[in-house]
């Protein structure tokens, strides 16, 4: 949907998965990652950026030490996202690790870096190339009742009357390569309500993609980068697509990534096995998936 008096111009959207900025002495995890190149760039930020409280459940090397893990990273690390990320979801299981006040600190730090935060009751809204883009973000714990969840479906329908709608969902079972039937039904309802994209994250493992009308659905993008040594899931991808003049997702592609883990930086992957995995998982969902120029295209 174009703003008054403006032609609807194409918009490029690039979304990546879980980003965690904790860890003593952590280097800038996006220093060499140029793949986040678009008009709207999205990540899911795991853990607050605040001076409140303290991290727990991790040893000095960032490895799990027993007990519940709570993240905390210095607010100044929001600067690492400046000019590289436009929207960060704070709707996930670690956003409140240092309480609601810690989440508010995170939102302020992100805003100061030019990044819009999104969570329930706090949508992100951008204006790009004469168009309004609205990002709605929600967190659904494993086993959540999705068939009866109508609040977000209604919110998508309302937001669609004002602009292009992207939905971020933190959901699913950790380590699973497949979405549940309930997840697929829920994603379909969101697409039918007007979402141009449903962007999933949370399992840390990657999952496949599918099309629903004019929408693209990525059930889980996997990890982008983790400062703590609390996940070893390196297979991931970035979702790239173009919003066309009608507000539909076009030319949707998965760009394979090797996540930044154990002090390494994330980078595009040339592993043919990873391309095949994304293609296979997407075809298992009934998608027409083809490997093209080092990416997996979904039609």
Nearest to 196 by CA among 257, 131, 243, 140: 243
Alpha carbon distance 99, 206 (integer Å): 29
Rounded to two decimals, the pTM is 0.94
The structural domain count of the chain equals 1
Task: Examine residue 6 and state whether it is found in any structural domain, yes or no.
Answer: no
Helix 181-193 crosses helix 151-160 at what angle (to 10 degrees)?
30
| 2 in any annotated domain | no
Cβ atoms within 10 Å, residue 89? 28
Chain segment 103-144, per-residue pLDDT in tens: 999 999 999 999 999 999 999 999 999 999 999 999 999 989
Read off the pLDDT of residues 30-59 as tens digits, 9 standing for 90 and up: 887 888 899 999 999 999 999 999 989 988
Domain span including residue 104:
11-298
Residue 120 within a domain: yes
- Flag whether 15 is in a domain: yes
The CATH number covering residue 199 comes to 3.60.21.10
Q: Is residue 243 one of the residues assigned to a domain?
A: yes
Rg of the chain (C-alpha set) = 18
The answer as to whether 4 is a domain residue is no
């Amino acid at each position: 949907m174009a703003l008054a008096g403006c032609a609807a111009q194409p918009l490029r959207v690039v979304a990546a998965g879980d980003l965690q900025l904790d860890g003593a002495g952590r280097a800038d995890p996006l220093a060499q990652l140029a793949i986040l190149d678009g008009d709207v760039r999205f990540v899911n930020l795991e853990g607050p950026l605040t001076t409140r409280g303290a991290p727990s459940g991790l040893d000095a090397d960032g490895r799990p030490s027993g007990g519940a893990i709570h993240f905390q990273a210095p607010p100044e690390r929001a600067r690492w996202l400046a000019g590289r990320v436009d929207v960060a979801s704070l709707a996930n299981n670690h956003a409140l690790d240092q309480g609601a006040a810690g989440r508010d600190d995170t939102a302020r730090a992100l805003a100061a870096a030019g990044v819009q935060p999104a969570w329930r009751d706090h949508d992100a809204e951008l204006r790009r190339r004469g168009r309004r883009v609205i990002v709605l973000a929600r967190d659904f714990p494993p086993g959540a009742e999705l068939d009866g969840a109508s609040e977000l479906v209604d919110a998508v329908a309302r937001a669609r009357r004002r602009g292009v709608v992207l939905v971020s969902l933190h959901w699913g079972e950790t380590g699973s390569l497949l979405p549940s039937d309930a997840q697929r039904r829920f994603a379909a309802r969101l697409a039918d309500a007007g979402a141009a994209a449903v962007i999933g994250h949370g399992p840390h493992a990657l999952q496949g993609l599918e099309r629903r009308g004019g929408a693209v659905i990525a059930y889980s993008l996997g990890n982008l980068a983790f400062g703590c040594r609390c996940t070893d899931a390196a297979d991931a991808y970035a979702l790239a697509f173009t919003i066309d003049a009608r507000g539909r997702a076009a030319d949707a592609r998965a760009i394979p990534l090797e996540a930044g883990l154990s002090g390494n930086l994330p980078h595009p992957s040339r592993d043919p096995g990873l391309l095949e995995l994304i293609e296979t998982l997407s075809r298992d969902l009934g998608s027409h998936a083809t490997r093209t120029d080092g990416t997996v295209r979904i039609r």
